[in-house]
Amino acid sequence: MSRRTEEVLADLVADLRPVQRLAAPGWRAAGWLATAAAIVGAAVAWHGLRPDIGARLALPYEVGQWLASVATGVLAAVAAFLVALPDRSPRWALLPLPALAVWLASLGWGCFADLARMGPQALALGTSWSCLRFIIGVGLPLLGSMLWVLRHAASIRPVPVALLAGLAAAPLCSAGLSLFHHLDAALMILLWHGGAIALVTGLGGAVGRTVYTR
Amino acid sequence: MERPDGGWEALMARAQAGDARAYDALLRQVLPFLRAVCRRRLGSSTEVEEAVQDALLTIHRLRHTYDPARPLQPWLATIADRRAVDRLRRSGRRARHETVLEPLSETLAAPAANGWDHASEEQLAAKQLRDAVSGLPSSQRRALALTKLQGLSLAEASARSGLSVGALKVATHRALQTLRTRLGGGKSSR
């Protein structure tokens, strides 16, 4: 053993203190999800549910789309807590992708359905800054909170964990937003909700590559 | 690799509870395994040893993330592999910033006609550089070593030295300016 390795080893042994083991990743993910649900739920309650929520919940297609966005967030959170541990496979990062694919496919399909129902008007692009504001405004603190609780991952897999943290936070905000401010045209949802989710996830990745590393 | 009764997992569980003897035994026993993992990525034995030291530091920092119900080897392997990849990236970064010095004083084809051979010329250049570096204030020398010789990013160098990123930038810049002046006869050209 080199002298320097011997010194490092001796320093670490001298520095040893008892540590509190982390809880199982499933429990930790459940804890974070409960907090996120409480925060998004409070924001929804503050805005109030949209008046036609009952009618919307009777439409299986819309309920399925909403559940896919929730599933994306939940599965991304579980994946982040797993990938953050050195002895878990990095392939867990793929866990939220099927739900994300279903959500995006349902929106894509919705665009065609709108086109058939409404004609070219379905492709009219409008602005919905409030969507962007809500998803980013609530999503970024949620992203930050997950990066904080998973800070131990910074020396192992910073970028995948930070990307998953963004993909966990933003779709949950999008699902909450849909309960009080649903856009009717699928293209608008794809543009504003999808765009905001991509932005928050991309920001997570950028943080992972820079400040979160080590 | 020698595995004691109860294995590395039991030693790590005792280390998590604060048992220094178990921790010392564990770290010594896992060293060959860490080296083997790092050797898969790195060629030079010096780099392997440095990656192993980095891995030991990460193991220490992340020891609370280990679940004794699971095997320790995959947990160690990921950590050692990440630190080896870091070293690989750093040496790649360093290689991009370094240039092979050409013997500028050579005027004739026969080495003997130039007064000294390449080896002595390199030794002289190395001595001049060493003298110039040792003449720098210690903060500038440390900044230079971390950012230019070890190839750390400013954030990494800041974490390791305790200096702010701004202070590191200033110290590195001043060190390079001083070296240019001393070695290049006052010229600041690269």
Assign residue B66 the CATH number of its domain.
1.10.1740.10
The pTM assigned to this predicted structure is: 0.73
Mutate: best of A82, A155, A209, partner B, most B CBs <10 A: A155
Average pLDDT over residues B69-90: 94
Three-class secondary structure assignment of B97-164: HCCCCCCCCCCCCCHHHHCCCHHHHHHHHHHHHHHHHHCCCHHHHHHHHHHHHCCCCHHHHHHHHCCC
Q: A80, A164, A84: which is closest to B64 by C-alpha?
A: A84
pLDDT at residue B188, rounded to an integer: 41
Q: At what angle do helices B7-16 and B20-39 cross, to 10 degrees?
A: 130
Last residue in a domain, options B66, B97, B128: B97
H/E stretch holding A67 reads helix A60-83
Evaluate whether B32 touches B49 at the Cβ level (below 8 Å). no
Same domain, B87 and B161: no
Tell me the pLDDT tens digit for each residue of B5-38.
559 999 999 999 999 999 999 999 999 999 999 9
* Number of domains observed in the structure of chain B: 2
Tell me the pLDDT tens digit for each residue of A46-80.
988 888 888 888 888 889 989 999 999 999 999 99
Max CA separation in chain B (angstroms) = 72
pLDDT at residue B109, rounded to an integer: 57
Residue of chain B with shortest Cα separation from A18 = B18
B152 lies in which domain range?
106-182
Please give the Cα distance from A172 to A69 (Å, whole number). 7
Same domain, B51 and B34: yes
CB contact under 8 Å between B67 and A13, yes or no, is no
Same domain, B158 and B140: yes
Mutate: best of B19, B29, B65, B90, partner A, most A CBs <10 A: B65
Same domain, B69 and B112: no
